[in-house]
Amino acid sequence: MKVVKLHEGRSHEWLVFGRDEERPSKIIDTNQYMIKTANHAIILDPGGIELFSAMLAAVVHHVPIQQITHLFASHQDPDIISSLGLWDKTLPHATLYAPWLWEGFLRHFGCNSIKYNPLPDEGKSIRLDDIEIQFIPAHYMHSSGNFSVYDPQAKILMSGDIGAALLPDGAPLFVEDFDHHVEKMRLFHQRWMPSNRAKKDWVRRVRQLDIQYMAPQHGAIFKGKDVNRFLDWLDELEVGTGV
């Protein structure tokens, strides 16, 4: 599992975990994120059960497990959070922030000790030591209960499946050529995103944020101007093409 520091500030840092070489084939590659503050850490979209061991091993290179006090699941998909049952054994005192809509479903993965903190549809903010973390509504993008995560201090938006690209193994972690990258994203967004109205709503919300990095759960991370390029592209794209 590769680990890259996305942001390092006075009060906190962002780490990306991904491109796991030992990932079983046929399993979609995912990026996991961790925000680490002085005394806490939150893992964003901790990933599927199949990469739990690799993820846990990578995490303890950076924090003692007791410091991980929070988890976040953008939605209910197995590649996002089917590892929940094992995190539940690892971090029995942690709190999971996830859409209220999925509570009864996510508990099927095993959530006996971890506290489930249901996110309301309108989203909310929490504090982790000195920083604020905002959960931004992203419903129907693609899941019907779905959130993005925004850190106003580091100016990072963790966008979950939005901005995802299906890339070959070993692809670079950052978008290098936007026009070329578009082709790797098109099908994913057209087929997995169901609603043009929801898409417009999300783009409108996100345009109001100051974003330096947009970090999706699959594929490559957008930097600087590519973030706006992506928003423009998505705004124009016809989605929900499965019917």
Give every CB contact of residue 182 below 8 A, 6+ residues apart in sequence.
Answer: 233
Strand ranges across the sheet with 222-223: 124-128, 131-137, 147-151, 156-160, 213-216, 222-223
Among 4, 27, 86, 167, binds other proteins (CB under 8 A): 86
45 binds Fe ion (CB under 5 A): no
Q: Which is closer to other proteins, CB of 114 or CB of 119?
A: 114
Residues touching other proteins: how many (CB under 8 A)?
18
Q: Kindly provide the residue ranges of all beta strands, DSSP E only, lying in 53-130, ordered along the sequence.
A: 68-72, 95-99, 115-119, 124-128
For the segment 206-225, give every residue that binds Fe ion (CB under 5 A). Answer: 217
Is 62 a binder of other proteins (CB under 8 A)?
Answer: yes
Identify which of 216, 215, 211 has the alpha carbon closest to the alpha carbon of residue 228. 211
* Residues within window 138-167 making contact with Fe ion, judged by CB under 5 A: 161
**Cβ-based nearer residue to other proteins, 60 or 166:** 60
Residue 171 site contact among Fe ion, other proteins, none (CB < 5 to 8 Å, cut-off depends on kind) = none
Write the CA distances from 62 to 8, 67, 133, 215, integer angstroms: 13, 10, 20, 20
- 79 contributes a contact to Fe ion by CB under 5 A: yes
**Nearest-approach distance from CB 92 to Fe ion, in angstroms:** 26
The reply on whether position 64 binds other proteins by CB under 8 A is yes
Q: Which helix (H) or strand (E) holds 190?
A: helix 178-192
Peptide bond into 181 cis (omega under 30): no
Q: List binders of other proteins among 90-109 (CB under 8 A).
A: 90
Q: Which is nearer to other proteins, 39 or 66 (CB)?
A: 66
Write the binding mask 41 to 60 for other proteins: x where contact by CB under 8 A, - elsewhere: --------x--xxx-xxx-x
Amino acid present at 10: R
Residue 219 three-state SS: coil
38's contact among Fe ion, other proteins, none, with CB below 5 to 8 A by partner kind, is none
Query: In the complex with Fe ion, which residue's Cβ is closer, 36 or 142?
Result: 142
For residue 61, count CB atoms less than 10 angstroms from its CB and return exposed for 0-12, middle for 13-18, buried for 19 or more.
Answer: exposed
| Contact status: 153 vs other proteins (CB under 8 A) | no
Crossing angle of helices 196-207 and 225-236, rounded to 10°: 150
Residues at the interface with other proteins (CB under 8 A): 49, 52-54, 56-58, 60-66, 85-86, 89-90
Residues at the interface with Fe ion (CB under 5 A): 77, 79, 161, 217
